[in-house]
Structure 1
């Protein structure tokens, strides 16, 4: 698979996902490096570090992104959770007048935090794996996304239609998870996964290259969900989340709306899109990130050579800047969902930073939540024409 340009709306691409759930065919390759967290067969409950060699990355020139590899959820320990405090990712929610009784997260009105348990993780894994299996064959991974529907061969038309059917089914299967998650931000993530997959399927008959941004964004929202659940299962959320300061409460809460027909987070450009993308570009072009990105993430801090110790110390300021930037921009967006996503990325970034000195391979899930959330918002901006 060819390499994409070195940057895009999400910047050069970050470490590959930890864990080993099934990924979607057509994942985008990117810069080479060793930051590839451990892989294990679902539902093995513990990570098994293994060096992976050349990586395939997600976040790059979004116009070339196919369906990106999404990890499946190892969710043996994911059941439960009230979403009511920092330890389990809620943030001091209080009962809301008129809250919907069929939505478990309806009363989660506090600040977004690192999530340590969520009952929706277990059913998410099979949904993810089914879509991954369905899209493995048929040429989807090697398709040329620059070819519009008007120039498709019969074989290409059949391939796109089969993929669209799979995306539509996956979106439909995800709707019930909106009800059972106990966390507002997970409800929003599921909603965006559904909304962007469906938006792409509707565009397939008249597909143009820009429409690939829709499916790339939807799949990246799915990757965020997977990383959240993996951080729960492998313990990094519980180990790091309680040690960071709680975020400030949200300015407003997005209405739940029609869970059967979630709306895209952006249907027109938002003023923060340009600065959001710039923050990501600055991070991935930072020399400290470029050096750190070449490390083997399966090596725990206790076994780091002096070079790794120095590189991890050096990359901290860049990680702090990115975390602070996405939270600030999220709050400036005046869009309650983007605000929640900005705080989600920031808090997981801070949790990752907090754990650098005692790093284990499971901590990579925290980084992936931060990075892929940043990528999903950038993808949403790109889908409405903001580079």
Structure 2
């Protein structure tokens, strides 16, 4: 018997596979949203995990493959949060023995490579923040984020202003979590969520169509935090982390830790040539993984048909290559935060690959982490391209 997927405590019930890799389903704006830059092209409909969530955002436990190359941000991540008991604790073996020199950041000693996170003491608190954002702006996930402020209805303007207020209220709490996490890459995820959320707040008075890119980055970063915590809670991270090798050490971890700030800037603030390569890689992966995306995420390996098993087997080398190329591009970028994000995304995808032979629904959280992080880089690139 096919069991439904577990309800994630860090975000409402997601959709299953299907959809392009970098964006997820579209906001529910009027009419069909354009896909791949083609006006009016229909969006790929995503199969659902049981009862669909009230939002249509990219919270998938599958990959939520969906990078829709459009000017409409197709994802809103912060969703209903059930604050249950997460697996929390200290670091996961990435700490050095060097004292942090009185740094305000608990992660100042984390000098290892970005890797699967199996324990994270800030998850429960993050869940409360995520839940509060959803409750404060319940209609946020239904918006057409490409619509400029000059075209907003009074109701849309009120909703964007509520979002601005909710993000403003959440910023001090997220800043506190960034200081408390023992993991450098979680600090960076919190920090970049703060940076892009501040950019969203700043954009709202004169919001333009192009500002939907920073909304996308902010949403995807929130999704990455949700899914990392879900992967811990449902033990997908713990089950697969020992099965993959640690990646190489980061290029300049001393600089990453010594320049940590409670108010970080956006990690992409200007044009970077690597963005073009990153977006091309994501497009190619989306195309090459399409048969895999047609396999329902709620079907365990024990119930795959021969065709479904063939699709799953065929995606293994595709994902393996994609992981390697993501990590390579991250290091090529010469951007330390991008390097960490790309490495982390690659590691979660590699862990997902290890889980394919005995796939169960909780393993889908791993590909969702990878996608959310990759997507955040994608939308950040769009914002500066």
TM bucket by the smaller chain? 0.7 to 0.9
- How far does residue 295 in structure 1 lie from its aligned partner after superposition? 1.4
> Are the equivalent residues in 1 in contact too, given 2:223–2:372 (CA < 8 A)?
yes
* 1:263 match: secondary structure: coil
1:183 corresponds in structure 2 to 183
> Are the equivalent residues in 2 in contact too, given 1:341–1:373 (CA < 8 A)?
yes
Report how many residues are paired. Answer: 346
1:333 corresponds in structure 2 to 333
- How far does residue 257 in structure 1 lie from its aligned partner after superposition? 4.1
Output the CA distance in 2 between the equivalents of 1:56 and 1:114: 19
Alignment of 1:1-387 (within 5 A): 19=8, 21-22=11-12, 28=26, 30-34=43-47, 59-65=67-73, 68-71=76-79, 72=81, 76-83=85-92, 85=93, 90=94, 93-96=95-98, 99-137=101-139, 140-253=140-253, 254-255=256-257, 257=259, 259-286=261-288, 289-385=289-385
* 2:120 match: secondary structure: coil
**1:251-279 CA distance string (max 9 Å, x none):** 11224546431211110022211111111
> Are the equivalent residues in 1 in contact too, given 2:73–2:146 (CA < 8 A)?
no
1:5 corresponds in structure 2 to none
Change in Cα spacing, 1:39 to 1:18, as seen in structure 2 (3 Å) is farther
> Are the equivalent residues in 2 in contact too, given 1:345–1:369 (CA < 8 A)?
yes
- How far does residue 340 in structure 1 lie from its aligned partner after superposition? 0.4
> Are the equivalent residues in 2 in contact too, given 1:200–1:214 (CA < 8 A)?
yes
Structure 2: gaps (5+ residues): 15-23, 28-42, 54-60
**1:240-259 CA distance string (max 9 Å, x none):** 01111110000112245464
Output the CA distance in 2 between the equivalents of 1:40 and 1:99: 48
**1:87-144 CA distance string (max 9 Å, x none):** xxx2xx324465444321110001111111010111011111111122213xx44444
Q: CA RMSD in A?
A: 2.9
2:33 corresponds in structure 1 to none
Output the CA distance in 2 between the equivalents of 1:258 and 1:134: 30
Output the CA distance in 2 between the equivalents of 1:100 and 1:66: 42
> Are the equivalent residues in 2 in contact too, given 1:178–1:190 (CA < 8 A)?
yes
Output the CA distance in 1 between the equivalents of 2:51 and 2:338: 31
**1:208-245 CA distance string (max 9 Å, x none):** 11111111101100101111111111011011011111
Change in Cα spacing, 1:110 to 1:57, as seen in structure 2 (3 Å) is closer
Change in Cα spacing, 1:164 to 1:136, as seen in structure 2 (3 Å) is same
> Are the equivalent residues in 2 in contact too, given 1:65–1:216 (CA < 8 A)?
yes
**1:290-345 CA distance string (max 9 Å, x none):** 12111121221122221221111111111112111110000111111100001101
Change in Cα spacing, 1:322 to 1:258, as seen in structure 2 (3 Å) is closer
> Are the equivalent residues in 2 in contact too, given 1:17–1:368 (CA < 8 A)?
no
Structure 1: gaps (5+ residues): 1-15, 42-50
Change in Cα spacing, 1:75 to 1:269, as seen in structure 2 (3 Å) is farther
Output the CA distance in 1 between the equivalents of 2:251 and 2:245: 18
